[in-house]
């Protein structure tokens, strides 16, 4: 079952309406959604599905389903499930998602301060990290904080651009993340462009202007293996 991914066009949608298309013990599938499913290192959204009666179905997590673009809204065991065909109002936990969007976009900026292959990453509401294949001696928390914040202060608008699989193959330098290759096969790949700073494939949710990040600080830097030097950041 394919779900229309409303957050792809507008990451700022906090509410929407949708129709239930499938229900299983794994979760609830809708014809469209504003809930981002865990992926690309970004945690899945939480929130609620509200029935016509006003009854709220808490969404504890959001995951990708079996087919491309299918989304599972995960609820707690024992939750009374809606019926297929039922219309629901969707509400995401916006404060949590906005923090994820700010931190996610901050990682794009930081990846231009630490110039090295990215071997991993994760974005939670309170902190985010990237792992780099780099010598520890080249990582300085104070410098990374200062230079990342200097770029954030440029307050440039972010842009989503699409290129074909062939165009991406012709420009392998765009792919910084060795661990997460962009999804291919649909014929086109989504890129996030931060003009003058960064351009790379990404299917996540980002802020419209990097000024919305505010400022970040490096929480810690530690080695998780020879090719995983981990830089963890938080919003200030």
Cα–Cα–Cα angle for 125, 128, 131, rounded to 5 degrees: 160
| Shortest reach from residue 58's CB to Zn ion, in Å | 27
Letter string b/e over residues 88-127, b meaning 16 or more CB atoms within 10 A of that residue's CB: bebbbbbebbbbbbbbbbbbbbbbbbbebebbbbbbebeb
Q: How far apart are CA 55 and CA 175, in angstroms?
A: 44
Binding residue (CB under 5 A) for Zn ion from 202, 210, 218, 231: 202
| Shortest reach from residue 147's CB to Zn ion, in Å | 19
201 binds Zn ion (CB under 5 A): no
| Shortest reach from residue 170's CB to Zn ion, in Å | 21
Order of strands across the sheet with 159-164?
A: 159-164, 188-194, 198-201
Task: Report the chain's terminal Cα–Cα distance, integer Å.
Answer: 40
121 binds Zn ion (CB under 5 A): no
Residue nearest to Zn ion (CB): 202
Supply 134's token pair. 């780099």
130 binds Zn ion (CB under 5 A): no
When the beta carbons of 3 and 105 are compared against Zn ion, the nearer one is 105
101 binds Zn ion (CB under 5 A): no
| Size of residue set near Zn ion by CB under 5 A | 3
| DSSP class of 11 | T
Binding residue (CB under 5 A) for Zn ion from 44, 120, 201, 204: 204
Contact region with Zn ion (CB under 5 A), list: 14-22, 80-88, 176-184, 190-198 = 190-198
When the beta carbons of 20 and 192 are compared against Zn ion, the nearer one is 192
59 binds Zn ion (CB under 5 A): no
| Shortest reach from residue 105's CB to Zn ion, in Å | 7
Residues 47, 56 contacting (CB under 8 angstroms): no
| Shortest reach from residue 155's CB to Zn ion, in Å | 18
Q: How far apart are CA 106 and CA 101, in angstroms?
A: 8
Task: List residues binding Zn ion (CB under 5 A).
Answer: 192, 202, 204
């Amino acid at each position: 079952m394919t779900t229309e991914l409303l957050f792809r066009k507008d990451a700022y949608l906090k509410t929407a309406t949708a129709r239930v298309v499938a229900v299983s013990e794994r979760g609830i599938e809708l014809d469209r959604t504003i809930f981002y499913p865990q992926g690309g290192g970004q945690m899945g959204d939480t929130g609620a599905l509200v029935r016509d009666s006003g009854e709220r179905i808490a969404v504890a997590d959001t995951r990708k389903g079996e087919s491309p673009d299918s989304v599972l809204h995960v609820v707690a065991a024992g939750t009374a499930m809606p019926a297929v065909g039922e219309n629901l109002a969707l509400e995401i936990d916006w404060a949590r998602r906005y923090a994820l969007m700010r931190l996610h976009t901050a990682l794009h900026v930081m990846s231009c301060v630490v110039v090295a292959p990215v071997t991993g990453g994760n974005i939670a509401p309170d902190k985010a990290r990237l792992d780099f294949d780099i010598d520890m001696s080249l990582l300085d928390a104070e410098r990374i904080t200062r230079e990342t914040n200097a770029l954030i202060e440029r307050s440039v608008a972010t842009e989503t651009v699409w290129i074909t699989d062939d165009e991406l193959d012709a420009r392998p330098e765009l792919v910084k993340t060795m661990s997460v290759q962009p999804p291919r096969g649909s014929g086109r790949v989504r890129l996030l462009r931060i003009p003058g700073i960064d351009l790379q494939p990404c299917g996540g949710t980002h802020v419209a202007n990097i000024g919305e990040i505010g400022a970040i600080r490096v929480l810690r830097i530690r080695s998780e293996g020879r090719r995983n030097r981990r830089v963890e950041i938080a919003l200030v």
